[in-house]
Amino acid sequence: MDDAPQMLSCVWEAADEGRRVDKVLAEKLGLSRTRLQALWAAGAVEAGEGRLEEGRSPEVGQLVTVKVPAPVPADVVAEDLPLEILFEDDDIVAVNKAPGMVVHPGAGHRGGTLVGALLHHCAGRLSGIGGVVRPGIVHRLDRETSGVLVAAKQDAAHQALARQFKDRTMEKLYLAFVCGTPRTPVGTWDGPIRRHPQHRQKMAVVSGGRASRTDYRVRRSWSRASLLELALHTGRTHQIRVHAAHAGHPVVGDAVYGRPRPWPPEAGVSRQLLHAWKLVLRHPRTQKPLALEAPMPQDFLHFQHWLA
């Protein structure tokens, strides 16, 4: 990737009138609102022939352009860490994220991140749209969640993937062991989710929350737990964990939403048993369907054997 900035453009339409400008532009251009706001504050947003002042709305029909600088690889150190590559070409790379690995640097996690490992593996060739701390990252998985994660090497690929996530055209399937067994073998959890009113570090099913939908199917059940296949139709924070706990079947090993009583040591439960099993998308350049699948992890197999 060269040092030239990436120019992202879209047209301000009549349907956009009355909406928050930063939200509309972030959605159309595949940027996070935080990233868009930072670029706007830096004077990188133009409408028509001149700079668009913060808080101002473009005119209908105007071309809005955002100048995204090339990433400065100083905030994240490339690290030679083991990666299980599921798919890779010049546009994207998909990995089977190991449980316990943080996706990007943050408070208390400067090293040992997936971003650092990807920077080393890709020799720095990751999309700059996510900023210097999250280059190439289009979506995330919780630290303890394992499974499929796709990153963009090119800015165009980043935009295309972000659009698919926004439009919910991807198929996102998970596997999870949950406590007990749902009453019906196939069902839907659709409680609205928002920040917990008392515990701000948690999410909760709360009236007035954001619309959320998780479909589930019981693959196999035992006396103490069951293995579910889950389809994620929305992407709320902690969605599967929140929905499962609200239904009375928290994810096994979930220290935040689960049951305080620990599983016996021989069960081998050292994390929340949630796995991003399958991601079906359209390749950002060829537009051909691409199914990415991560095999069931060893701790899942161990727990399943223990249950039997």
Question: Do 61 and 133 sit in the same domain of this protein?
Answer: no
Structure tokens at 307: 């249950």
Strand, coil or helix: 105? coil
Strand, coil or helix: 26? helix
**Catalytic residue at 167?**
no
Task: Enumerate helices (H) and strands (E) in the chain, giving the number of each.
Answer: 6, 15
Q: Final residue of a domain: which of 167, 187, 207?
A: 167
In a domain, 217, yes or no: yes
Question: Do 20 and 49 sit in the same domain of this protein?
Answer: yes
Which of the pair, 72 or 125, is modelled with greater confidence? 125
Q: Are 238 and 215 in contact (CB under 8 A)?
A: no
Question: Do 176 and 156 sit in the same domain of this protein?
Answer: no
User: Degrees (nearest 5) of the Cα angle 216, 205, 236?
Assistant: 65
How many beta carbons lie within 10 A of that of residue 37, not counting itself? Answer: 16
In a domain, 78, yes or no: no
Question: Do 194 and 246 sit in the same domain of this protein?
Answer: yes
Q: What is the pLDDT of residue 30?
A: 84
From residue 53, how far is each of 7, 37, 177, 229 by CA, in Å? 18, 12, 50, 48
Structure tokens at 263: 């599983």
Q: Are 203 and 242 in contact (CB under 8 A)?
A: yes
User: Could you report the per-residue pLDDT of 243-296, keeping only the tens digit for each?
Assistant: 999 999 999 999 999 987 789 999 999 999 999 999 999 999 999 999 999 999
Question: Do 113 and 202 sit in the same domain of this protein?
Answer: no
In a domain, 1, yes or no: no
Question: Do 143 and 248 sit in the same domain of this protein?
Answer: no
Nearest to 21 by CA among 42, 41, 44, 37: 37
Question: Do 179 and 282 sit in the same domain of this protein?
Answer: yes
Q: What is the pLDDT of residue 189?
A: 98
213 vs 70: CA distance, rounded Å: 37
Structure tokens at 98: 């190991």
Question: Do 239 and 180 sit in the same domain of this protein?
Answer: yes
pLDDT band, very low/low/confident/very high, at 110 (cuts 50, 70, 90): low
Nearest to 71 by CA among 135, 161, 26: 135
In a domain, 114, yes or no: yes
User: Could you report the per-residue pLDDT of 111-158, keeping only the tens digit for each?
Assistant: 788 988 998 888 867 776 665 556 778 888 999 999 999 999 888 888
Residue entry with tokens 């800015």: 155
- Active-site residue identified among 142, 155, 254, 299: 142
In a domain, 268, yes or no: yes
Q: What is the mean pLDDT of the chain?
A: 89
Q: Domain span at residue 44? A: 6-68
229 φ, ψ to 5°? -105, 130
Question: Do 158 and 177 sit in the same domain of this protein?
Answer: no
In a domain, 239, yes or no: yes
Domain count across the chain: 3
CATH number for the domain that contains residue 213: 3.30.2350.10
State the average pLDDT over residues 48-53. Answer: 82
Q: Final residue of a domain: which of 167, 197, 226?
A: 167
Q: What is the pLDDT of residue 132?
A: 52
Q: Final residue of a domain: which of 122, 148, 167?
A: 167
